[in-house]
Structure 1
Amino acid sequence: MEKLNVLPEAPARLDGVGRRSFLRYVGGAAVVGGILSSCTPTADEVTASSTLNDYNFGKYARQASNGVVVDLGTGEIAILNYAYALEQLDSTFYELMLANPSPEFTSKELGRLMDIRDHEVTHREFFKRALGSAAIPRLTLNFSGINFKQRSVAIDVGRMFEDIGVSAYNGAGKYLKTDAYLLTAGKIVSVEARHAAYLSELQFPNSDAFAGDLPVNGQGLERSREPGEVLSIVAPFIEETLVFSLA
C-alpha cells in the first residue's frame, strides 16, 4: 500500500534492547504497537464522527509496525519523552493539515489552526530541549488514513488528538517530580484544552461539545488517562513500538 501523509523519519533500532531487556519492560511497564488489518478502508471512504460519542481513531489508521523499539526511559524522563512523543504526533498532524489544507476551511479557521500548529511546535521543541541527549528520536508517523482535504475529517481527528492530549497530561502529572516541569505541563495542558474546545465547537457548533459530559466528568473535572492507555490509543499512527517504565 502506498503511504501518503507519512513522515519517514524513523529512529535507529535501540542499542542494548535485547530479548531479556525487552521482556523486562513488557512485564513492568507498557508496550505500544501493533499491526492493523490490510482490509482497512481507504481515506476517501472514511467519514467524520457524527456525534461526540463516536470516538474512534481506528477508522483513520493505516499503520503497520516497522519492528523498531523505542525506549522512552524510566521515571520522570519517561514521562517527558512520553509528552515529547505526543507533541510530535500533534505538531506533525497540524503541519500536514496546513501544508495543503482543505478548501472548505475559511480564512479565519485557517488562521486559528495555524495558531494551534505553532503552539504544538513550541511544545514539541520545549520537550526536545528539556530532554537534551535523553530525548527519543523523531518517530515515524503515519497519517495516510486521513483525508486532510475533507474539512470534517481533519477537524474530527484534530479534536480527538486534543482530547487525548488533555487527558494524557492530566494522567501523567503525578509522575513528574521536578516543580518546573510540573508547572510547565500545567500551562501546556491548559492550552491543549483550549484547542480541544475550539475544535469541538467547529465540529459540533452551538452545542455543549466544547465542555460537555464527554470531556468533563460529573465532578466538573477534565478526564485523565494513564500513559499506557494513551499510547495504546495513538499507536495506530506511530510505527515504532514504545516502551517505558515508571519505576
Structure 2
Amino acid sequence: MQNLKFDHIIHYIKHIDEFQYPGEVLKVVPGGLHNRYATHNKLAYTDLAYIEIIGVSDEEKLKKVIKTNEGRVSFVSKIVQDNFKQGFKAFALRTDNIEKLKTELEEKGIDTVGPIQMGRENKRGEQTSWQLLYLNQPHADLKPPFFIQWSKSEEEREEALKSKFQPEFEIKAIEVQTTDKDQVVNQWRDWFDMEVKASDEDVSILSLPNEEIEFRIRKARKNGYDIVIQDKETDAPYNITTRGAEYHFVP
C-alpha cells in the first residue's frame, strides 16, 4: 500500500464567516472557495495535519452535486445525508502517488471514484490544487476515509505553511464511533494495511505504518468521529464541544 499519512479532518459548520474556537484555543486562518462543491473553508493547522472548517455557500447546488457519480461518494455528501447537521463528517489520508494507490485498492477488490482534480482560490486570487480519490461506498453507515494528493511536495507545503502551524498542539488520534466495530476494523486493516495495536470488545486501536496518529475504533450506538489533540502547554485534559463536534485535549 502507498505510504499513507493522516492529512485532515472535516468539521462542517453553519455561519462559517463568524466562527472562532471557544477562547480561540486553536487559531483558524482563511482558506478559500471550492466552486465545484459550493463550499468554502477555514483551516486550523497543527503541522501538515490540520482541521478543515467547512461551510456551504449554496445548499441547493450542493444537493445537485451529490446526485452525480463523484458527488454521491464525496465528503460533502455526508453533509446533506445528515440534513446539514453540524459536526465532523469525514477525514482524508495523504498519498504521494494517487494513481498507484487507486490501482492497489482496486487490486483488493475495492471500487474507487477518481482521481478528481480539485482546487480553491483565496481572496488574493492565489490557487491551491490537489487530487482526490474516493472509495465507492455511498451507502456506508460510517463515511470511510478518502485520499488526497497535493500538487506540491510536503517540503514545499511545509515551507509555505509553517507560519500557520501551531506547534504547541499535535493531533494524536481520531476517535471513531461505529455500530459495527468489527467490520470497520477488518476493512481498514485490510484496505489500508493498518496495524491493530490493541483490541478488546469495546475499542480497537489501529495505526498506519510509520505513522503515530491512532484511529481508535469504538463500539457505539451511532456513527461518527471525534478528535484527540495533545496540548503541550497544559498538565490536565480538557474538552471543547463546538458546533456539533467533540475536541478532546490531553497533556
TM-score under structure 1 normalisation?
A: 0.30
Larger RCO, structure (CA 8 Å, separation 6 or more)? 1
Structure richer in strand, relative to its length:
2
TM-score under structure 2 normalisation?
A: 0.30
Structure richer in helix, relative to its length:
1
